[in-house]
Structure 1
């Protein structure tokens, strides 16, 4: 019944080289468990992403009718909510302002950043074949298995210690730039304009080093590490450098291990990457939510187009420990079993809902109060049901859900969730 406020939708799967293969991938696990129409498991295929939303490159469809979700929402604007319709122009065409994903990462993604809105407009105008829209793309990664990533610039003293300790790295930086940076690293505030400029000069020098220079230095570095010739100051990046170089031989992006924070997240932990923050996901399975856009500026660890000038020009050069990027779950006004991940952007927030029985009950129950905008939710563990409307009323109904299944929830819908051992990730906009 597609006029209902809650209904199943069909996500799309994306196969990219960096994805986990077969059922090692959460993407494949969810697609297989939910019996996505047309999905046939190939154990040798890399299942990288599961897309849930209205993005034109991988739009979701209504399960019962096979209609595009965007088309259904355009015909039923009440499901978007008046606040979202008034704030986001594309919402009138049924387009949700966020894209919700599952990512399964075996091989590192590219060193990249995303432009802010003003920069996106310029890039789209100047290079529409590369930057296909004029929107920004802030994103949040929420670990569902142990997850590693590079994110944001290292604190200046830590970067300085690598310059001093790692000759193969420091040889990529002209002596005058290196000396100026080292003179500021321990005395200047990382937010000071001169410190940011010095960090920019170091990063730019490394990323624009000649192929003949950085490839020979990278070969020497990896050979030294494999021989076990490691100084204490560099011991924390050895495994990462060797891993990245094995995946992307002779790639300048490997040297970002000496400039960006390397973080490990446990399930339930999250990071947020705003515009201008360099990052690369390295391994693990995550829920990812982002503003709907394709705009990625790449610099390394990729066979795709690299745009070093625009990447260097657009970074924030904010040097800080990785905690600066963490999004900490906090209790929401939705119930004791609901955690809210609320990054500093209007396009999306994410709930994690855990439903288990207590007090001898056969099933657990949680009630989510109405949200003023549209939601998309996926069950990652267990099974149960989502119900709406007063019991016994003609407007009441429900949807049975299990692992990997995805639902759309219309604006203003109070939802009773029941199940046992069920975990649901719930992205929404208000």
Structure 2
């Protein structure tokens, strides 16, 4: 090991997108400010990036050296096992950690698997800016809502039968095939996926004059003072009207009839693999993913819509939202929980330490990045110590044990993304 510090502060990158929260209410702006980033009070702050992705790399505190440049000079901070296991080059990490502050729904989207990412990047590097896949986990730090994976086929069939505006977008034979696929005599697997794909494709490629007419009828029915007939579930009505207020006349609103609508409380998490459709709707989250910025969009966005690639890249797995839930494991002290999704590139530790309490964190066999999302405290390691305040971000090198201590009157809440070679 060289004499370089194994723990050091990072300056993250703040991203201003139109779906972000206004600066005064955005956790992203608040955390960015804690790292010395100048905030534009008139702008919406959406994402805080912590990692080595070239689109928005983190930097060391001198502002001139990127984290990837530093790690390229000191690969021991990543660790030999991680370097070998993930074939990482040029100081890049296998994971990217973010904070998201969502005021307006994100696009209906999916992320490609590795082979599709390579193909899209080769064909359209201006749009698909890297060749990596992007499995991701969202961990709520405020109440959070999202569209997440396809609903069970029985639920979609019910919506086709009780929502005439939705049904009008799907040819009768495709509607019937999906309804038939829910019967006990239906074949499993391929037949059901084909039926779901036909319905989803019909909706997302419906002629504009048709879906705008049906959407107008739907909104009129949902807002009619005479009442709504047939009566939709409360969550569905709430979601449709919210999306319509943000994206009037957008085909993506009809995804509310096909995707699971989830509501998470702080500490709850969901995972989305390649080819699973989703859209985050509201709230603040810690998000962790494989290092990539590949997004295939098809609705609820002013950005490029790539419906053919989205339709072709989905898995068409229909299941309750519980399929996507990541249940944390609790550490020995109870102060730390491990969120470990079914991919090797990342996992996240969430530590909630009461004022004055301390906890030992054993060395990890790989690098990690930590952000304090609440409170203040102290990080101690064999060769040093540093204070950490709300919003500050630190890198922790492979093989470095930590002691966390909460200071002040509030809990110290720390989120730490890491990778190990197992």
- Structure 1 contact 188–195 (Cα < 8 Å) conserved: no
- Structure 1 contact 378–424 (Cα < 8 Å) conserved: yes
Q: Indicate yes or no: 2:196 matched with 1:199.
A: yes
Residue of structure 2 in register with 1:316 after alignment: 315
Which shows bigger deviation, 128-137 or 51-60?
A: 128-137
Return the offset for 1:164: 0.4
**TM-score, normalised via structure 1 length:** 0.93
Which shows bigger deviation, 305-314 or 248-257?
A: 305-314
Map Cα deviations across residues 239-262 of structure 1 (whole Å, 9 max, x no partner): 110110111111100000000000
Residue of structure 2 in register with 1:379 after alignment: 372
1-structure distance, mates of 2:381, 2:37: 30
Return the offset for 1:130: 1.9
Which shows bigger deviation, 116-125 or 407-416?
A: 116-125
Return the offset for 1:117: 0.6
2-structure distance, mates of 1:136, 1:11: 22
Residue of structure 1 in register with 2:345 after alignment: 347
- Structure 2 contact 368–418 (Cα < 8 Å) conserved: yes
Map Cα deviations across residues 228-283 of structure 1 (whole Å, 9 max, x no partner): 32423444311110110111111100000000000000000000000010000000
The alpha-carbon distance between structure 1 residues 191 and 418, as it changes in their structure 2 partners (threshold 3 A), is: farther
Return the offset for 1:115: 0.7
Residue of structure 2 in register with 1:76 after alignment: 74
Map Cα deviations across residues 368-417 of structure 1 (whole Å, 9 max, x no partner): 1010111000001111111111xxxxxx2111110000000000000011
Give the match's secondary structure for 2:18: strand
Return the offset for 1:65: 6.0
1-structure distance, mates of 2:393, 2:268: 22
2-structure distance, mates of 1:149, 1:215: 24
1-structure distance, mates of 2:53, 2:374: 25
1-structure distance, mates of 2:96, 2:109: 18
1-structure distance, mates of 2:229, 2:82: 54
Map Cα deviations across residues 120-144 of structure 1 (whole Å, 9 max, x no partner): 1122222222222211000000000
The alpha-carbon distance between structure 1 residues 230 and 190, as it changes in their structure 2 partners (threshold 3 A), is: farther
Residues 2-401 of structure 1 mapped to structure 2, 5 A cutoff: 3-32=4-33, 34=34, 36-42=35-41, 44-64=42-62, 66-90=64-88, 92-187=89-184, 191-227=188-224, 228-332=227-331, 335-357=333-355, 363-389=356-382, 396-401=383-388
- Structure 1 contact 352–425 (Cα < 8 Å) conserved: yes
The alpha-carbon distance between structure 1 residues 15 and 190, as it changes in their structure 2 partners (threshold 3 A), is: farther
Q: Indicate yes or no: 2:396 matched with 1:409.
A: yes
- Structure 2 contact 138–270 (Cα < 8 Å) conserved: yes
2-structure distance, mates of 1:397, 1:187: 64
- Structure 2 contact 29–39 (Cα < 8 Å) conserved: no
2-structure distance, mates of 1:166, 1:187: 24
Aligned-residue Cα RMSD (Å) equals: 1.6
Number of matched pairs:
414
